[in-house]
A and B are shown apart, each in its own frame.
Chain A
């Protein structure tokens, strides 16, 4: 195998064996100029191949993946920010609505309480008036009833007195004297 290589050193057979020998024992391989051409050609082929693979396939692919991830992350962050803004706006709207509802509720409460108070006052006043009227009427009725009763009592007393006198004396007393006597005793 080394033979073909040693051949590179020169066309002469002598140089051939010399190169071969130097190759394995005495020579320092990195300074062995007979191997330079092979190494340079291989390096050119493989480095150019690598460069083409790297520039046409590898870097676009890996770079694309990184960029896609970056875009995805940025998009997701923007989306998250948007949603956060939305939720904050919703929260603010909710709080505003809550506050206005609370104040409205308070206003309605105050209003209805005032109205109820006013109504209650009016009703109480009407009721009091009614009651006062009824009371006055009742007092009047009582007074009249008492007057009537008193006059009835007088009649009954007169009747009773007449009856009693008749029973006791057998004489029917005249009504005028009985009435006078009853009046006198009622007064007395």
Chain B
């Protein structure tokens, strides 16, 4: 029994959609899980009714709505609500696809760097374009913190500019690495159970209890991480957008 913790990340084309240049554009398992996430979110938000006294599903939809709305209001003020649809879409997309992804035999969309980079760049350019369009050159105030003595200002500005342009890197790699590492760890520990059982017989099955317990614990942790990383991604987006809305921080 060979453990292949990487196999779960394989992209399997299901059918070809077309070609762009010399790239084949295929509908892959990743596309399927993106579609599933969009379908689940749409069902949750649209098919849950609009009762005065909400049912369970409607409560989940409303809690999601109010959770994100409160996060935006708390971190970027009322003006941040302009970006409510974007942040809500980001959060729900990542959260739902992550939660679907920890079901065994499924695929995790955010376990691919290209996806998280694309999402982080959407945020980065939204911040950059909105910040420049709204504040003009005042937007660059975000690189000049208040109350810094003149002689170290160039250094501070250099660090601020660097950190600004590194934001999409940390933003995307955090999510990607968390999902990737979590799934690999789960697979490795779960693989130990089977490996012990198949190779050592009865003793192996008894010995497999420990990695099984670890797998269960890790699985619970991964459920938390799936939600938490979506939340972290969303709240960082809000914080970055807050810079674009209020550059003179």
Binding site for B on A (CB under 8 A): 1-2, 4-5, 7-8, 10-11, 23-24, 28-32, 35-44, 46-47, 49-51, 53-55, 57-59, 61-66, 68-69, 72
Given contacts A30-B111, A53-B42, A57-B46, contact A43 B34 (CB under 8 A): yes
B58 at the interface (CB under 8 A from A): yes
Residues of A within 8 A of B112 (CB): 29-30, 35, 39
B86 at the interface (CB under 8 A from A): yes
Main secondary structure of the interface of A (DSSP, over half): helix
Residues of B within 8 A of A28 (CB): 6, 9
Complex Cα distance, B170 from A40, in Å, reads: 19
User: Could you list 16 A-B pairs, sorted by A, with CB under 8 Å?
Assistant: A23-B11, A24-B10, A29-B6, A29-B9, A35-B30, A35-B114, A38-B23, A39-B30, A43-B34, A44-B118, A46-B35, A50-B92, A53-B42, A55-B89, A58-B45, A59-B84
Binding site for A on B (CB under 8 A): 6, 9-17, 20, 22-28, 30-31, 34-35, 37-38, 41-42, 45-46, 48, 50-52, 54, 58, 61-62, 65-66, 84-86, 88-89, 92-93, 109, 111-115, 118-119, 122, 176, 180
B42 and A68: CB pair below 8 A? no
Complex Cα distance, B241 from A39, in Å, reads: 26
A23 and B10: CB pair below 8 A? yes
Q: A1-B12, A59-B85 are in contact. List 18 more A-B contacts (CB 8 A).
A: A5-B13, A7-B24, A23-B10, A28-B6, A30-B176, A30-B180, A31-B113, A37-B24, A38-B13, A38-B25, A38-B30, A46-B31, A46-B38, A51-B89, A54-B45, A57-B45, A62-B65, A68-B52
Query: Distance in Å from the Cβ of A6 to the closest Cβ of chain B?
Result: 9
Given contacts A4-B26, A11-B22, A47-B93, contact A58 B10 (CB under 8 A): no
B10 and A42: CB pair below 8 A? no
Query: Distance in Å from the Cβ of A18 to the closest Cβ of chain B?
Result: 15
Residues of B within 8 A of A46 (CB): 31, 34-35, 37-38
Query: Distance in Å from the Cβ of B115 to the closest Cβ of chain A?
Result: 6
Complex Cα distance, B89 from A58, in Å, reads: 10
Given contacts A46-B31, A72-B52, contact A37 B23 (CB under 8 A): yes
Residues of A within 8 A of B66 (CB): 66
Residues of A within 8 A of B50 (CB): 61-62, 64-65, 68
A54 and B62: CB pair below 8 A? no
Given contacts A10-B22, A47-B93, A54-B92, contact A39 B28 (CB under 8 A): yes
Residues of A within 8 A of B41 (CB): 50, 53-54, 58
B61 and A62: CB pair below 8 A? yes
Q: Which of A31, A55, A65, A69 has the most CB of B within 10 A?
A: A65
B45 and A42: CB pair below 8 A? no
B11 and A54: CB pair below 8 A? no
Complex Cα distance, B118 from A36, in Å, reads: 10
B89 and A2: CB pair below 8 A? no
Given contacts A10-B22, A59-B65, A72-B52, contact A53 B10 (CB under 8 A): no
B25 and A37: CB pair below 8 A? yes
| Nearest B residue (CB) for A69 | B52
Residues of B within 8 A of A32 (CB): 11
Given contacts A46-B34, A51-B85, contact A66 B62 (CB under 8 A): yes
Q: Which of B9, B37, B114 has the most CB of A within 10 A?
A: B114
Which 10 residue pairs across A and B have the least CB separation, nearest first? A58-B45, A55-B85, A42-B31, A8-B24, A37-B23, A65-B50, A29-B9, A46-B34, A35-B11, A5-B13
